[in-house]
Homo-oligomer: A and B are copies of this chain.
Amino acid sequence: MSVPPLPNVMVEKLVRAALNEDLGRAGDITTDAIVPASTRAETALVARQKGVVAGLDLALLAFRLLDPAIEAAIERPDGSPLAPGDVIATIAGPARGILAAERVALNFLCHLSGIASATASVVEAVRGHRARICCTRKTMPGLRAVQKYAIRVGGGFNHRFGLDDAVLIKDNHIAVAGGIKPAVERARAAVGHLVKIELEVDTLAQLEEALGLGVDALLLDNMSVEEMRRAVGMVDRRAITEASGGITPTTAPAVAATGVDLISIGWLTHSVRVLDIGLDYRGELRLRR
């Protein structure tokens, strides 16, 4: 099933800013000097490696905002698996606009597809286990909403979107509060009825203390696989269990095998590699009319 797209009103400002960041104060001086205004081109967004497409709407919006006369035909919408050579979409219209928007469109598309693809590979690695893959707040400044969207496209789930939509009690909070119990109680007293509370525990002793406080989720931070397994047993589905700490596609299956509900992975948004996608020039378009 496809992931619902973000409405344009949520991303248009971002795409406009990215275009203006690239166009600067004079626009695409290379293309403007060399390519006549009347030249029309047909191009295609083509995958150069295996992966999952994400961010196509933003890429197409970049072309359209640069020149509304540019038209796109989508072949593989967000969420589609990609093999090298696969055409994601064809882009046709005034060549100047296509060339001027190309880099911005690709910067969105390659980065977000990179996130979706990496997410999908970890999701695939833990298939058969109950563990969902999710992201963190370790995102690129300004890009959180679209990065988290790409996580969903890759089959992952989202953790908190910000500091305001759920409680996550960490070691420093516990230290200041003087213990796990007062920390949890203060949080519960303060927040609304639709806010969940998650607690980070670093040891099984802490976990023991946490059980019975009725938190919604427990973040097992940097535990060994064996500790995690024991932790999952101790929790016994009374709360969501989340594994965290440098988990990779290679280590994920063992972590998932502990029975945790969630595996959260920061590098999916802070250190992911782009998916290699290019804009292939297919030739000049003959006059449309």
**Using Cβ atoms and an 8 Å threshold, which residues of chain B touch A7?**
23, 27, 66-67, 97, 100
> Quick one: closest B residue to A37, CB to CB?
B4
Residue A224 at the chain B interface, CB threshold 8 Å? no
Residue A163 at the chain B interface, CB threshold 8 Å? yes
Let me know if A274 and B270 touch, CB within 8 A: yes
Contact of A140 among B143, B148, B173, B284 (CB under 8 A): B143
Contact of A186 among B33, B132, B187, B284 (CB under 8 A): B33
Beyond A26-B161, A27-B10, A67-B7, whether A32 also contacts B142 by CB under 8 A is: no
Residue A166 at the chain B interface, CB threshold 8 Å? yes
Residue A110 at the chain B interface, CB threshold 8 Å? yes
Interface string of A162-179 (1 = CB under 8 A from B): 111111111111011100
Residue A201 at the chain B interface, CB threshold 8 Å? no
Instruction: Please tell me the size bucket of the interface on A.
Output: 35 or more
**Using Cβ atoms and an 8 Å threshold, which residues of chain B touch A137?**
22, 103, 107
Q: Which of A11-19, A120-128, A205-213, A250-258 contacts B (4 or more CB under 8 A)?
A: A11-19
A: residues with CB less than 8 A from B are 2, 4, 6-7, 9-10, 14-37, 39, 41, 65-67, 95-97, 99-100, 103-104, 106-108, 110-111, 114, 132, 134, 137-145, 148-149, 157-173, 175-177, 183, 186-187, 189-196, 198, 216-217, 240, 242, 261-262, 267, 270-274, 281, 284
Q: List 12 A-B contacts (CB under 8 A).
A: A9-B23, A10-B27, A17-B141, A18-B142, A24-B25, A26-B164, A30-B163, A34-B177, A39-B176, A41-B176, A193-B242, A194-B198
